[in-house]
Chains A and B, each alone.
Chain A
Amino acid sequence: MWSDLFVLPFLTGLCLALVLPVLGCFLRLRDEWLAALAYAHVAAAGALLALIGGVMPALGGMAAAALAGGGKRLFAGRLAGGAAFALLLLGGWAVAVLLAANQPLAEQLGHSLFDGQLYFSGAAQLALVAPWSLFAAVALVLLSRHLLLARVYPDYFTARRLRAWPVVLGFDLVAALTLALATMTMGVMGGFALVFVPAWIAFRRARRWRSALLLSSLVGTLGYGGAFLLALRLDQPFGPVLALMLIAVGLIIA
């Protein structure tokens, strides 16, 4: 277990297990939990496109997710009520499946993106994920007050003659890029499970916002650690084991 072969993937996933639940709390606060699936599918499609184009898949995935996160603002008027995320999800899924069906190379990567093969992560992936996770955590802390105000006191920005869009755009980019990295590290559903379930539990159980963030991160980290060991012991793909473990924890606690 404690060889590089497993330690590097474990540490890479651990960084995400700490930050994804916190991101999930903010997505849930904004009623945008579908964004997790949307950005994940767009990132998967971008990674496959990059692979076919001879570019690093990670770059393609992050670029596609960032483009989706920043670009959806341009269509905000027509895509209210979560429609943007539903369309991004459908579009990302369709492109990814078509690419996988027509390109043998893409088919292989497509399987690992959707199944969640964390154990293939190496030093390069950790070098990307660790600093980004730290950056995302700091960014969420800095954006926290304004994101909360936008929910409970939406007129705050208008009344104070402040612009809300830099906060929203900043959050969208952090969410999109974090989910892109999560998708390429632990797969679409593995990342989604860490975004959705711990935040869902925390919103039901916590009495304060700060304790919700801590609880979600704790549930995510413990669930991740347990799933990592179990998947390794049973020689099973990581993503489905993580999802089942978090569902079980969620049903017991929530």
Chain B
Amino acid sequence: MSDALIRARALVAGWDSPATAPLDFVVESGRILGLTGANGVGKTTLLSALAGRARVFSGALETRPGLSLSLQTQDVPPVNGVPLSGRELLALTGATMAGLPPWLAGRIDDRLDRLSGGQRHYLTLWAVLLAPADLVLLDEPTNNLDSAGVDHLAGVLRRLAGAGIGLVLVSHDHEFVERVCDQVIVLGEPAHVV
């Protein structure tokens, strides 16, 4: 596993029961792997298995020793009513503020629950994306983002990959996936690499 961060062999993942078809893939440093497919094929479950949240029912999942992971999920962080600013959120995860889009940098000292849904989503996404990690796992990161946000995100993902960070991206947004990913796996029966 020279540049390989994660190597899956005939991996079947699920929660209470197997939910994905057997899958082989490798996630390498500096590359972005996209996972797409119809609803219910197990994209999020597979991502969760990589993060240690979901179960591996069969096959093998090897991770590089000492691998540091960041995981962004579709769950909205419960920050309503909590007096926490964007700057404090980034400090918590160790994410840098350098490179924040101007429409967010200007509101970095506002409480998270005073931001719009899109601003809050991008800031919490940023807190995960820019946290120190070898591998970043993203689940539908373009949700709630307008076109400016999507463009900015695409640039950030390529910049992270350029810095040697590996990324796995689950998305139903085929255009976005094809635009930023180095390799795409379409989950289904059978799964295939594009």
Residues of A within 8 A of B84 (CB): 148, 152, 208-209
List 15 interface pairs A-B (beta carbons < 8 Å), by A numbering. Answer: A151-B78, A152-B77, A152-B92, A155-B51, A155-B73, A158-B53, A158-B71, A159-B51, A159-B71, A159-B137, A160-B69, A207-B85, A208-B109, A209-B83, A210-B88
- The reply to whether A211 and B83 contact each other, CB–CB distance below 8 Å, is yes
Residues of A within 8 A of B77 (CB): 151-153
- The reply to whether B81 and A203 contact each other, CB–CB distance below 8 Å, is yes
Q: B56 CB to closest chain A CB, in angstroms? A: 14
Q: Which positions 48-96 of chain B face chain A at CB distance < 8 Å?
A: 51-53, 68-71, 73, 75, 77-79, 81-85, 87-89, 92-93
Q: Which positions 153-195 of chain A face chain B at CB distance < 8 Å?
A: 153-156, 158-161
Residues of B within 8 A of A207 (CB): 83, 85, 109-111
- A161's contact among B52, B93, B124, by CB below 8 Å, is which? B52
5 closest cross-chain pairs (CB), A and B: A206-B83, A159-B71, A212-B83, A159-B69, A152-B77
**CA–CA, A156 and B53, complex, Å:** 11
**CA–CA, A91 and B137, complex, Å:** 45
Classify the interface of chain A: helix, strand, loop or mixed.
Answer: helix
Residues of B within 8 A of A206 (CB): 83
- The reply to whether B71 and A145 contact each other, CB–CB distance below 8 Å, is no
- The reply to whether B127 and A153 contact each other, CB–CB distance below 8 Å, is yes
- The CB with the most chain A CB atoms within 10 A, among B87, B112, B127, is that of B127
A229 contacts partner chain B, Cβ-Cβ < 8 Å: no
A29 contacts partner chain B, Cβ-Cβ < 8 Å: yes
- The reply to whether A203 and B82 contact each other, CB–CB distance below 8 Å, is yes
- The reply to whether B69 and A208 contact each other, CB–CB distance below 8 Å, is no
B12 contacts partner chain A, Cβ-Cβ < 8 Å: no
Q: B148 CB to closest chain A CB, in angstroms? A: 25
Nearest A residue to B66 via CB reads: A161
- The reply to whether A155 and B82 contact each other, CB–CB distance below 8 Å, is no
A90 contacts partner chain B, Cβ-Cβ < 8 Å: no
List 4 additional contacts besides A152-B112, A153-B124, A210-B88; criterion CB under 8 Å: A152-B82, A153-B127, A207-B85, A208-B88
- The reply to whether B53 and A208 contact each other, CB–CB distance below 8 Å, is no
- B89's contact among A152, A202, A212, by CB below 8 Å, is which? A152
B161 contacts partner chain A, Cβ-Cβ < 8 Å: no
Residues of B within 8 A of A210 (CB): 88
Residues of A within 8 A of B82 (CB): 29, 151-152, 203, 209
Q: B79 CB to closest chain A CB, in angstroms? A: 6
B128 contacts partner chain A, Cβ-Cβ < 8 Å: yes
- B128's contact among A153, A158, A205, A208, by CB below 8 Å, is which? A153
- The reply to whether B85 and A160 contact each other, CB–CB distance below 8 Å, is no
